[in-house]
Amino acid sequence: MHRETACERILFLYLPTGGGHLAPARALAKRMEAVYGVSTLIECPSLSRLGLFIFKDGYQLVSQVFPALWKLMYERNEKPWGMRLSRILAGFFTLHGLRKVLAEYQPTKIVCVHHLMGRALRIALEEHGRVPLIMVVTDPFDPHPIWAFNHRWPLACYSEDAARTLVGYGVERGRISVHSSIVNDSFERDVSMDEMETLRDELGLRRGKPMVLIAGGADGMKRAEAMTLELLKSRLDFDLVVVCGRDPVLKLKVETVAAAYHMVPSSTKKVAVLGFTDRMPILMRAADAIASKAGASVVAEILRVGKPNIIAYMIPGQEKGNVDFVVSHGLGLYCRTPESLRLGVERILGDEAYRKRIEANIAALHFKNGLDSICKSIMELE
């Protein structure tokens, strides 16, 4: 174990546009405290109610309820004028908070995991004084050009594909360090068969039967109730676990579907419906197939546990690169509708040779958690 000095104060900055930015910041901060003994602070620069609505509620509303509009906004934001306008807007809501946290925390290093804060950070640091800063690019395979727009800071990315894309945007190769996707260290622990069977017992699932997991992350999975209904029509005999995250309305909808199914005398499948849970590492390892969103964090977690990934929902534009990576490397399927999801599950569970090819493709990637190497790059900042 490395041990440096607690005099190092590492500031992690994010915005609440989904969990894909906060999750890596938390994982990095936890590892750096444990390995290097540094002080860390994870901060979303203070936002007004309007700012929170725009960056949190507004983002979730548009990206999940109006995906066509989100795709249009995403594409417009690839233009220089769009990137500049987005950073001006973000700066309006975050600059005051950045000034305050810099003055109060006095960081010795800064890690930014959100591309929209570039302009505000530049202004705040010009006033505060130079602090070594690195941007962690949380788009793993096909980063948005705004990550490279109008700054000279080093960039830590998750793949060679991402590095090539950033070079194509004009970033000098020497400013880029290549690592791997960040996975919370809870996914690093081996899980025994006894633990997985105990979990199945606690959830009321049947031992010896395949288990399909619907995992939408902390925000839940859009259309999870329709996916559940369709999967319960399958001719195959498997059990189902649906994780609804922090969405109580979604959980109620899925529970209603499950209760109606269990009232049918001929029903055989067992369905467990969960809200937010910290047992995702065990659930994923216990699953035979996982239906997920296309978010960077959940895709990396499924790769880490080595299970077939059926992507059932993606945010247009933003997560397309993640879908392309999974499909092109033979790591799973992209199923846009509940019916295609059912067919995908039946193919993976019903065709052993096909499932083994997917598992072999996952193994061939030799996926390694990027936590330690990115932490090292942060500590080497000058």
Query: Within a domain: residue 4?
Result: no
Regarding whether 141 and 289 lie in a shared domain, the answer is: no
Beta bridge partners of 215: 243, 292
Spatial separation of the C-alpha atoms in residues 122 and 81, rounded to whole Å: 18
Q: Is the pLDDT of residue 228 over 50?
A: yes
Q: Is the pLDDT of residue 5 over 60?
A: no
Q: Which is nearest to 42 in space by CA: 59, 58, 28?
A: 28
Cβ proximity of 245 and 220 under 8 Å: yes
Question: Which residues in 64-160 belong to E strands, given as ranges?
Answer: 109-112, 133-136, 155-157
Cβ proximity of 136 and 370 under 8 Å: no
**Between the CA of residue 219 and those of 70, 102, 139, 230, what are the distances in Å?**
18, 30, 19, 21
* Structural domain total, the chain: 2
Spatial separation of the C-alpha atoms in residues 371 and 27, rounded to whole Å: 7
Query: Within a domain: residue 269?
Result: yes
In 3-state terms, what secondary structure has residue 41? strand
Cβ proximity of 182 and 24 under 8 Å: yes
Regarding whether 71 and 38 lie in a shared domain, the answer is: yes
**Average pLDDT for residues 350-368, to the nearest whole number?**
94
**Average pLDDT for residues 306-320, to the nearest whole number?**
91
Q: Which residues, 6 or more positions from 340, have their beta carbon under 8 angstroms from its beta carbon?
A: none
pLDDT in tens, 19-73: 788 999 999 999 999 999 999 999 999 778 888 888 888 888 888 788 888 888 8
Regarding whether 250 and 329 lie in a shared domain, the answer is: yes
pTM across the whole model: 0.89
Regarding whether 205 and 152 lie in a shared domain, the answer is: no
Q: Which residue has the tokens 């793949």?
A: 159
Regarding whether 337 and 279 lie in a shared domain, the answer is: yes
Query: Within a domain: residue 235?
Result: yes
Regarding whether 127 and 201 lie in a shared domain, the answer is: no
Cβ proximity of 113 and 24 under 8 Å: yes
The enclosing domain of 83 has a CATH number of 3.40.50
Q: What is the pLDDT of residue 316?
A: 86
Q: Which residues, 6 or more positions from 60, have their beta carbon under 8 angstroms from its beta carbon?
A: 18, 219
Core vs surface per residue 188-208: b (16+ CB within 10 A) or e: eeebeeebbeebbeebebeee
**Percent of the chain clearing pLDDT 90 (strictly above):** 76
Q: What is the pLDDT of residue 217?
A: 77
Environment class of residue 250 by beta-carbon count within 10 Å: exposed (0-12), middle (13-18) or buried (19+)? Answer: buried
Regarding whether 155 and 192 lie in a shared domain, the answer is: no
Regarding whether 94 and 201 lie in a shared domain, the answer is: no
Q: Which residues, 6 or more positions from 70, have their beta carbon under 8 angstroms from its beta carbon?
A: 62, 63, 315, 316, 317, 318
**Percent of the chain clearing pLDDT 70 (strictly above):** 98
Q: Is the pLDDT of residue 1 over 60?
A: no
Query: Within a domain: residue 219?
Result: yes
Query: Within a domain: residue 243?
Result: yes
Regarding whether 264 and 207 lie in a shared domain, the answer is: yes
pLDDT in tens, 279-299: 999 999 999 999 999 999 899
pLDDT in tens, 153-194: 999 999 999 999 999 999 999 999 999 999 988 888 888 899
The enclosing domain of 289 has a CATH number of 3.40.50.2000
CB atoms < 10 A from the CB of 370, how many?
A: 25
Regarding whether 240 and 144 lie in a shared domain, the answer is: no
Q: What is the pLDDT of residue 3?
A: 47
Full residue range of the structural domain in which residue 266 is found? 187-365
Environment class of residue 136 by beta-carbon count within 10 Å: exposed (0-12), middle (13-18) or buried (19+)? Answer: buried
Spatial separation of the C-alpha atoms in residues 128 and 98, rounded to whole Å: 10
Confidence band of 6 (pLDDT split at 50, 70, 90): low
Regarding whether 262 and 353 lie in a shared domain, the answer is: yes
Q: Which residue has the tokens 């890596």?
A: 24
Phi, psi of 154 (to 5 degrees): -70, 155
pLDDT in tens, 84-107: 999 999 999 999 999 999 999 999
